[in-house]
Amino acid sequence: MNWGERLHKAKAFISNGLFHAALDELRNLEHTSEDQNNENKGEFYDEQGKLSIYLTDYKRSVGLFLSAISCAHSKDAWVKYHVHLAVAYRRLSEFDTSYRYLNQLLEFKDEISAQTRGLLYLNLSAVQGIHGFYDQSMISAHKSLEFFSLVKDSEGYIADLYNNLGLAYLENGDFEQAEEYLNRAFTISGDQHMDIISEMGRMNLLRGRIHEGIHNAEVALRLVWSRIINYDKEEIARLCHLLAQISMRFHEVDLAIRLNEKAQLFFGQLGMWRQWQDIDSEVTEWMELSASCTDTSDGTDLNGISLQEIRLFLTILDAINSQELIDKKISTLLDVRVHYVKLLADQLGLSNTEKDRLILAARLADYGLTALEHELVLNPDRSVQAYEQYKKHPWLSVSMAQTIQLDQCVIDIIIDHHELLDGSGFPQGKQANDINFLAKVLSVVDAYTQGVTIHQKTHDECLHQLASQCGMRYDETVVERFFELFQT
């Protein structure tokens, strides 16, 4: 396989969400990249930069896009790499820097392809919306749509643009146009964009369509467990805001304030201070009402969604956040583990219910680690005593999970996820058929993701370890299906 074919293979891995396999492939190409022409080198650095964004290493992506820019073989490539650089700065919450780059690139709009112009205006529209320049955001979005209409396979971009337009019109108070574009975005993307559904709910509430807004919230809340895989903070923030407004409609002031505070937390982490400030003003107003309002609808069914369900969502969100606070490595592990669990669930042909349970278990299986010492969590093998303490965390996870009313099927996965076929696992030393099948699936993914995140092993090293223990510690069918993911 020549250099170009291997780069193509890495790109295929990235497009299929197999990020650590792509990382291995690109690392193997790195030592020969200097022998390539500028076109190949630019593409190589650009792919590495995009992969770093997927792996949330935004600072590294900035350096890689700068390297791609230095190798750009054409004006079109040079502009495209700069757009990607602006995206990296946006992910770093450096919105002013991102906006400045994109504005400067407009000087070259007549020298680049329709697709690159579409990308430029798409990202400009997004940053203008973040800054609150809604009229400008709409102009940029319409220009982007014009250019993408000339490009094949641009449907994904168009859904984002319709969403941008819907949000901009909504913030400007033009509900008719907002509804038109949000509906278009939803038609294209369906349940791929939870934030579209949340904003449709907010729009319906603002228009006095209470039942429609509650229905949107119900759809988003059902979707959140299958989409917790991505755990997109902006999506979760917008859903929290919608649920807060619904709770407030039913005089659940304290619940509404807690949800809005959670939305503020996520918007603050993203550096989206305009959105943070809007919610802060809302929270201040609601706090003044809290003294005079009494909760009157505890557990009431709101046409398909219950206040109890909203409270449970908030409680589980708190549990997820508490795990992230243990250590950056643990936070990364959770994200990566859930990501590969979803891919393997699809490969195994699991039902949506099984997949949702598995995803939730993967996100909360280490909840018990929050009750252990930080050093013990990161280095359980430091002593026999430390490892014995560490082995208790599935029981702790179950005990804590029961307080948030998790389904028993999810709890069964959590308690068994460290059990191994040969009986050498913990906490009960179960063997073979005694182990919950979905826990066997999580066990395989956990072994892989522990390797690539906590232990910094390569993708190939982790696959080799799984292969050597297949049938002895890990379920043979599950391992075979996991390996099939990487057969591009």
Tell me the pLDDT tens digit for each residue of 269-285: 888 888 899 999 998 88
How much is the average pLDDT of 411-425? Answer: 95
Residues 6+ apart with CB under 8 A from 271: 93, 94, 95
Bigger pLDDT: 23 or 370? 23
Residues of the chain with CATH 1.10.3210.10: 326-484
Q: Taking residues 26-33, what's their average pLDDT?
A: 88
Q: Is the pLDDT of residue 478 over 70?
A: yes
Q: What's the pLDDT band for 336 if we cut at 50, 70, 90?
A: very high
User: What confidence category does residue 229 fall into, taking pLDDT thresholds of 50, 70 and 90?
Assistant: very low
The 10s digit of each residue's pLDDT in 71-116 is 999 999 999 999 999 999 999 989 999 999 999 999 999 999 999 9
CATH topology of domain 326-484: Hypothetical protein af1432 (1.10.3210)
pLDDT at 297: 47
Q: How far is it, in rounded angstroms, from Cα 367 to Cα 395?
A: 10
Mean pLDDT over 53-58 rounds to 90
pLDDT, one tens digit per residue, over 360-383 is 899 889 888 888 887 788 788 888
Kindly report, as residue ranges, where domains of CATH 1.25.40.10 are found in the chain: 1-112
Classify domain 1-112 by CATH number: 1.25.40.10
Position 292 scores a pLDDT of 57
Query: Over 70: is that where the pLDDT of 454 sits?
Result: yes
**What pLDDT, on a 0 to 100 scale, did the predictor assign at position 299?**
46
Is the pLDDT at 64 greater than 60, yes or no? Answer: yes
pTM of the prediction?
Answer: 0.85
Give me the pLDDT at residue 146, please. Answer: 96
Find the mean pLDDT for residues 405-434. 93
